[in-house]
């Protein structure tokens, strides 16, 4: 009897415990349902989730909450990186007319000087890969000094060729006199504008001069010869007395032509080839002379530079060309091209700047003496040909071929 009583008592206790347990579970479930219904209206349940955002499935959620959760998870796979670069601030070239100079004479009255700027670059990464790069801010730490070039608009043309023994005059406010006929030689003196210089020797684009006790070399483009002959002054002759013929110019045309040599076109020939019905806004027609001027100053093929402008701006019809006088998309980042692109005050500024950038970084090997006191940096030099420039200048591998079609088109208009 005692064993049976013990068994009954054990069964009663077990049933009682089970009933308490079930009551507890029901109470917990009731609390969860009640809380979910009345207090957690916007809670989202992810039936399935892993690190791949595209595979996340969201249910029982409104759209805003789902996007917020996706954003939170996505941020775990994204990263931003900021870094500061100190780079050169290229100077601008200002052209102005001078009626007291012989027609189309190019005279440098102030050499440009580069400045310095700090650029903050922001990069965005997703899953370890960079998806965006753009300029965050720019701070100028050293201002650049503009180059000033005067273009003669007088009624005469100075065709006189300076000879040894002639007297010329400094056109730059601070003309550098070098120890040798080389921009990289030592500077021996600085002369003021209109200083009288006697020509002792002539070496290509350099004059060996004497000025009081100073003897050294100056760039010929930074001087002018004053012809006192009334007979010569009263003549109204063409700027270019010996224009090269069409056949002579086209004979040098090829896909592999050196771009660090001038095309040889005269000013009138530039105006002729850049007058075109496709140029609906007449931007290239009205600025043709600047492609001629860059040839004279920087030893670069002006037709090549014009062709880049035509290609990049669709004959001057692009938004950057119309809004910012930027024919080349200079400074435009792929992620934010319009805001990143340079804003020029004139088309001549954009033409001149791109020519200098190409000469300094793309079409001359490092150390080559170029314009002013500069040496080529050659950062992106892969040869002075279209294909060489294409290597680092444009991501489009067909860029060189497309550009050559424009170059041929312009040469054939001579």
pLDDT (tens digit per residue) in 236-254: 223 444 688 889 999 999 9
Judge if 137 and 194 occupy the same domain.
Answer: no
Residue 311 maps to which CATH number? Answer: 1.10.530.10
| pLDDT mean across residues, the chain | 80
Dist CA 398 CA 303 (whole Å): 19
Give the model confidence (pLDDT) of 349-358 as tens digits: 999 999 999 9
Do β-strands 196-203 and 167-170 pair in parallel, antiparallel, or remain unpaired?
Answer: antiparallel
pLDDT band at 6 (very low <50, low <70, confident <90, very high): low
What are the residues whose beta carbons fall under 8 Å from the beta carbon of 104, sequence distance 6 or more? 151, 152, 157, 239, 267
Segment 275-303 shows an average pLDDT of 96
Residue 165 belongs to some domain of the structure: yes
CA distance 399 to 208: 44
Gap between the Cα atoms of 174 and 109, Å rounded: 9
User: By mean pLDDT, which of 66-75, 294-303, 400-409 is the weakest?
Assistant: 66-75
Domain boundary among 20, 52, 76: 76
Where is average pLDDT lowest: 123-132, 187-196, 254-263? Answer: 123-132
Torsion, Cα of 179, 184, 190, 191 (10° steps): 80
- 214-219 vs 206-211, strand pairing mode: antiparallel
Are 403 and 373 in the same domain? yes
Residue 14: band (very low, low, confident or very high) from pLDDT cuts 50, 70, 90:
low
Tell me, what's the pLDDT at 126? 87
Of 239, 261, 243, whose CA–CA distance to 252 is shortest?
A: 261
For residue 39, the 8-state DSSP code is T
348 lies in the same domain as 215: no
Give the mean pLDDT of 298-322. Answer: 96
Whether 139 maps to a domain, the answer reads yes
What range defines the domain where residue 139 resides?
A: 79-146
Give a yes or no: residue 58 inside a domain. Answer: yes
With a cut of 70, say whether residue 332 has pLDDT above it.
yes
Would you say residue 30 lies in a domain?
yes
Q: Which CATH number is 215's domain given?
A: 2.30.30.40
* Sequence-separated contacts (24+) of 53-58 with Cβ below 8 Å: 53/77
- According to the model, what pLDDT value does residue 76 have? 59
Mean of pLDDT values over 2-12: 54
Rounded to an integer, the average pLDDT of 91-101 is 90
In a domain, 240, yes or no: no
One domain, residues 340 and 284: yes
Looking at the fold, whether 72 and 207 belong to one and the same domain comes out as no
Do 165 and 110 share a domain, yes or no? no
| Bridge partners, 202 (sequence order) | 207
> For position 157, what pLDDT does the model report?
60
Q: Are residues 31 and 62 in the same domain?
A: no
Domain finish residue from 56, 76, 96: 76
Helix count (H) and strand count (E) of the chain?
13, 15
pLDDT at 302: 98
Residue 289 belongs to some domain of the structure: yes
- Of 174, 89, 92, which is closest to residue 352 (Cα–Cα)? 92
Contact 207, 217 (CB under 8 A): yes
Residue 54 has pLDDT above 80, yes or no: no
> How does strand 196-203 pair with strand 214-219?
unpaired
Are 289 and 267 spatial neighbours (Cβ–Cβ below 8 Å)? yes
Do 202 and 260 belong to one domain? no
Q: What is the pLDDT of residues 200-238, one digit of tens each?
A: 999 888 999 999 889 999 988 888 776 544 333 323 223
Residues, the chain, total? 414
Same domain, 268 and 397: yes
Strands 78-89 and 115-126: antiparallel
Q: Give the Cα-Cα-Cα angle 305, 257, 249 (nearest 5 degrees).
A: 80
CATH code for the domain of 129: 2.20.230.10
Handedness of CA 134, 138, 142, 145 (dihedral sign): positive
Q: Phi, psi at residue 149, to the nearest 5°?
A: -120, 130
Shared domain for 407 and 274, answered yes or no, is yes
Same domain membership, residue 284 and residue 184? no
Measured distance CA(119)–CA(136) in Å, rounded: 8
Residue 294 banded pLDDT, cuts 50, 70, 90: very high
Q: Is 50 in the same domain as 120?
A: no
| pLDDT, average across residues 173-190 | 87
Q: What is the CA radius of gyration of the chain?
A: 36
């Amino acid at each position: 009897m005692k064993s049976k009583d013990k068994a009954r008592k054990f069964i009663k206790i077990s049933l009682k415990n089970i009933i308490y347990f079930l009551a507890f579970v029901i109470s917990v479930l009731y609390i969860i349902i009640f809380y979910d219904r009345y207090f957690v209206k916007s809670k989202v349940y992810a039936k399935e989730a892993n690190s791949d955002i595209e595979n996340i499935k969201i249910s029982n959620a409104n759209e805003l909450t789902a996007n917020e959760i996706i954003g939170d998870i996505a941020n775990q796979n994204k990263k931003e990186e900021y870094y500061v670069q100190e780079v050169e601030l290229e100077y601008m070239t200002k052209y102005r007319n001078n009626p007291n100079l012989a027609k189309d004479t190019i005279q440098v009255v102030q050499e440009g000087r580069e400045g310095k700027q700090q650029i903050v670059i922001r990069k965005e990464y997703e899953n370890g890969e960079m998806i965006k790069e753009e300029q965050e801010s720019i701070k100028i730490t050293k201002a650049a000094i503009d180059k000033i070039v005067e273009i003669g608009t007088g009624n005469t043309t100075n065709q006189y060729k300076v000879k040894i023994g002639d007297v010329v005059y400094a056109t730059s406010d601070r003309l550098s006199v070098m120890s040798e006929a080389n921009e990289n030689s030592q500077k021996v003196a600085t002369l003021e504008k209109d200083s009288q210089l006697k020509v002792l020797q002539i070496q290509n684009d350099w004059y060996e001069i004497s000025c009081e006790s100073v003897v050294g070399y100056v760039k010929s483009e930074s001087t002018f010869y004053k012809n006192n002959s009334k007979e010569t002054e009263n003549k109204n002759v063409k700027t270019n007395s010996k224009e090269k013929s069409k056949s002579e110019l086209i004979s040098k045309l090829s896909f592999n032509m050196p771009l660090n040599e001038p095309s040889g076109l005269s000013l009138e020939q530039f105006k002729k080839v850049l007058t075109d019905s496709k140029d609906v806004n007449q931007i290239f027609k009205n600025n043709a002379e600047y492609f001629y001027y860059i040839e004279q100053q920087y030893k670069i093929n002006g037709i090549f530079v014009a062709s880049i402008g035509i290609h990049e701006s669709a004959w001057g019809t692009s938004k950057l060309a119309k809004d910012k006088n930027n024919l080349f998309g200079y400074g435009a980042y792929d992620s934010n091209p319009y805001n990143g692109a340079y804003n020029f005050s004139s088309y001549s500024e954009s033409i001149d700047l791109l020519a200098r950038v190409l000469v300094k970084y793309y079409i001359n090997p490092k150390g080559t003496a170029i314009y002013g006191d500069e040496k080529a940096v050659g950062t992106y030099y892969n040869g002075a040909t279209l294909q060489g420039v294409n290597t680092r200048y444009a991501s489009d591998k067909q860029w060189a071929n497309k550009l050559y079609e424009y170059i041929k088109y312009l040469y054939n208009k001579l």
